[in-house]
Amino acid sequence: MTEPVTYAYAVLRDIEGLAAALDGVAGVVGAPVRLVRASPGNELAAAVSSVPAQDFQESALRRHLEDLDWLEAVARAHHTVIEALAAHTTVLPLRLATVYLDDRRVETMLGADAQQFSQAMRRLAGHLEWGVKIYVDRQPDVRVTGEAGAAATTEGLSPGRAYLRARRVQRHSRDESYRAARQAAEHVEAIGRDMAAGHARHQLQQGELATGAGENVVNDAYLLAHETAAEFRTRVLDAARGLPGVRIDVTGPWAPYSFASPFGAEGPAPDSAP
Amino acid sequence: MTGVERPPGADPLEQRQVALIDLLDRLLSGGVVLTGDVVLSIADIDLVRISLRALIVSVSARNPSPWETSTRPEDEP
């Protein structure tokens, strides 16, 4: 139980000075980060940390992953390492909690899939990921009190009729907002087709962690070459102009998390609602 | 674990606090999936994700997309 295991963050192309850039970077559980090469002289490497086996063995990991605080700490540490690496070289981020028994096993993994890794890195070189989220303003609940009620009453409507009218107005405004959001979404996708090297969809954001104001109706990721990113961002943000009730949020740049898989063209897994 | 301190703009990806949900989108459904030695299979990770969603999503089943969004990832070139 006292032997540590090896937590792997990313596969990458090692370049001069990269190991030094990892000095002082705290990985998961605060562990230092180091590089494991596929073989001596090979530029293919993985960024790893030694972590306590008792926290990262199967049953513990399964339990920990259900703990949002633990998950957040690991996710943020993982991300910190990816960002530190991506500032210097092309990285293929690994999915959270990819754990090996020791460094030798990581070397074996690098050697086994070396060709696919190299191909994926060539595809991603000079590119970063940008997130595009589209929101529709939430409609307030209908209440036939206050202004609307007062106005309706002065027009001689009964409370019941006033309520129905308010509902109708609300539904109309809601439909309009969704129509506008759809228009924005199509516009953004057209910009993506024009400029991006890749497009992936993520599940719509809902629930407590979804802190963005409004209802999330698009949660996508685009892969952009460095030199086109600024223009992409500007054009995407502009796609909401003149569309009432629609908001577009651009996040990034991200390391190419959503486009890293070298095995087939799979993006983020398709989801069905639980 | 607040990350490394760097002067702003020193790197293309400067340190900033990203929303946890955006990060989880990428770390739990993106990234390269390798079979490590501690075998949480891909299906298990999906289970984690789904149970997490259950934890943090209260109304997803009753709150579907306003229009039929394809959840199929688009082909990458």
Domain of A227, CATH number, reads 3.30.70.1440
- Window B:45-74, CB contacts with A under 8 Å: 45-46, 48, 50-61, 63-67, 69-74
Q: Which of A61, A91, A98, A108 to mutate to test the interface with B (most CBs of B within 10 A)?
A: A98
Q: Are both A94 and A132 inside the same structural domain?
A: no
Sheet holding A215-225, edge to edge: A198-201, A215-225, A127-136, A246-254
Tell me phi and psi for residue A112, to 5 degrees: -65, -40
Q: Which of B14, B15, B24, B29 to mutate to test the interface with A (most CBs of A within 10 A)?
A: B29
Only one residue has tokens 């009190």, namely A145
- The domain limits of chain B are 33-60
Cα(A153)–Cα(B64) distance, integer angstroms: 36
In chain B, which residues have their Cβ closer than 8 Å to the Cβ of A268?
A: 25, 29-30, 73
Among residues A69, A101, A125, the one where a domain terminates is A125
User: Is the per-residue pLDDT at B56 higher than 70?
Assistant: no
Its domain, for residue A63, covers 5-125
Q: Answer whether A93 sits within 8 Å of B30, measured CB to CB.
A: yes
In chain B, which residues have their Cβ closer than 8 Å to the Cβ of A211?
A: 19, 21
Residue A58 lies in a domain: yes
Q: Are both A135 and A114 inside the same structural domain?
A: no
Residue A273 lies in a domain: no
Q: Are both A221 and A114 inside the same structural domain?
A: no
Most confident residue range from A203-212, A253-262, B12-21, B65-74: A253-262
Token pair recorded at residue A148: 């609307």
Q: Are both A134 and A117 inside the same structural domain?
A: no
In chain B, which residues have their Cβ closer than 8 Å to the Cβ of A136?
A: 66
Supply the pTM of this predicted model: 0.79
Q: Are both A134 and A101 inside the same structural domain?
A: no
Question: What's the confidence (pLDDT) of residue A231?
Answer: 97
Give strand pairing partners of A7. A49, A99
pLDDT in tens, A81-119: 999 999 999 999 998 888 898 999 999 999 999 999 999
Smallest Cβ–Cβ distance between A76 and the set B1, B25, B50 belongs to B1
Residue A157 lies in a domain: no
Q: Chain B residue with minimal CA distance to A257?
A: B31
Residue A148 lies in a domain: no
Question: What's the confidence (pLDDT) of residue A198?
Answer: 96
The secondary structure of chain B in percent helix, strand, coil, rounded to multiples of 5, reads 35, 0, 60
Q: Are both A135 and A86 inside the same structural domain?
A: no
Among residues A125, A150, A182, the one where a domain terminates is A125
Residue B73 distance to chain A (closest CA, Å): 5
Whole-number percent of chain B with pLDDT over 90:
4
Smallest Cβ–Cβ distance between B73 and the set A79, A182, A268 belongs to A268
Q: Are both A110 and A60 inside the same structural domain?
A: yes
Q: Are both A115 and A69 inside the same structural domain?
A: yes
Q: Are both A95 and A192 inside the same structural domain?
A: no
Number of structural domains, chain A?
2
Q: Answer whether A274 sits within 8 Å of B48, measured CB to CB.
A: no
Q: Are both A234 and A111 inside the same structural domain?
A: no
Q: Are both A135 and A31 inside the same structural domain?
A: no
pLDDT in tens, A170-226: 888 888 899 999 999 999 999 999 999 999 999 888 877 887 789 999 999 999 999
Q: Answer whether A8 sits within 8 Å of B64, measured CB to CB.
A: no
Cα(B15)–Cα(B9) distance, integer angstroms: 9
Question: What's the confidence (pLDDT) of residue B16?
Answer: 60
